[in-house]
Every structure is written in structure tokens, then in C-alpha cells.
Amino acid sequence: MNIFKRLIDRIETLERTVAEQARLIKNLIREGEITEVFDDGTVIVNAQDLVTNKSPFVHFSGAIKEWTPPSVGQSVIAVSPSGDPKRSIILPAGYSDAHKQPHNSLSERKFVFGSTTMTMTEDGWELEGTTITMNGNVEINGNSVTHNGTEIGDKHKHLDVVKGKDKTGTPV
């Protein structure tokens, strides 16, 4: 009978091992939603009722650095190489009903943050916002600078030009 008890113990051990391996594999990659965001580059994610510890979200951190923090409610993927969701790396998961795709052009890149939008195309950039502030020296190289449809670059002309300290009219 001793051999049967050892056999049963061994089978029970194998069953526990298989169950643990299945749990770890299930936890390798999980979809989730950000529940907290921290200014140190980490987030907490609820990944299908498993809550991560503070985990780093993926961003550029080499010679080119980018700070684009995610937001609470954002869909993400928690990757846990060890199978332990408490030790995850957080990746963006794409768009959702709550966070819709801001654009559908395959030849443009668009960033939207609140009421500010930046669109990059093959021909240039377009900035839209309530206020756009540029700090530092600004150098404009080109053949034209316009403001509300009026040329204000180096080839613009003014109305009512007079000599002396008098003010001129508006650019034409």
C-alpha cells in the first residue's frame, strides 16, 4: 500500500504543479484598465480583477525621450514575464468606446490633448489650441508669413506710410 500512497502523492503534486503553471500562463498577458497614474512613470491596472502593483508604463527613454502619461480608464495590456501580475510592464492597448480614435488618415499623425491638437503631415505641422506659446527665439525661413490671410513677412507692404514717427496703416 505504501507504493499507492506515494503514487497518489506524486499525482497530487503534479496536479498542483500543472494548476500553478496554468495560472502563471494565464497571467502572462492580460487586458486591463488603468485605475491610478503616478508622476514617477508608473500606473496601477485592474487586469480582469487582478490588480497590479505600481508598474512602469512603456515610453521612449533613450536618446529620444517622450513623456506621454496614460490616463485613468485607459485600456492597456499588462505583460508579466514571470506570470506574476504584481510584476508587470504596462503597454497601450488601443482605442475603446470610452477613448475613441482621434483620426483615420494613414498618412498623418495626430495628437489630441484636451482642446489642443497637433497634426503632422508629409507637408508640415498644424497646431490648434486656445493659446499656443513658444518660448525662446523663433526663426522663420520661407517665402511667406501670413496672419488671418494677410502677408506679414518681409515682402509685406503697409497702407498710409508717412515719414517720421507717425504710425503706418495695417499691412496689405
Q: pLDDT, tens digit, for every residue of 58-70?
A: 988 888 888 889 9
Is 171 among the domain residues? yes
pLDDT(146) > 90? no
Query: Are 128 and 80 within one domain?
Result: no
Exposed / middle / buried, residue 79 (Cβ in 10 Å: 0-12, 13-18, 19+): middle
Domain with 67 in it: 25-99
Residue whose C-alpha cell is 495628437: 111
Joined together, the cell numbers standing for residue 170 give 495695417
Q: Among 30, 67, 58, 60, which residue's Cα sits nearest to residue 45?
A: 30
pLDDT of residue 64: 84
Query: Are 109 and 67 within one domain?
Result: no
Is 12 among the domain residues? no
Residue 5's H or E segment, with its range, is helix 2-26
- Please provide the average confidence, as pLDDT, over all residues in the chain: 87
Query: Are 29 and 85 within one domain?
Result: yes
pLDDT of residue 159: 75
Predicted TM-score of the model (pTM): 0.69
pLDDT of residue 50: 87
Query: Are 89 and 32 within one domain?
Result: yes
Q: How far is CA 50 from CA 1, 32, 35, in A?
A: 43, 9, 12
Supply angle C-alpha 131, 39, 55, rounded to 5. 135
Is 54 among the domain residues? yes
pLDDT(91) > 70? yes
Query: Are 62 and 113 within one domain?
Result: no
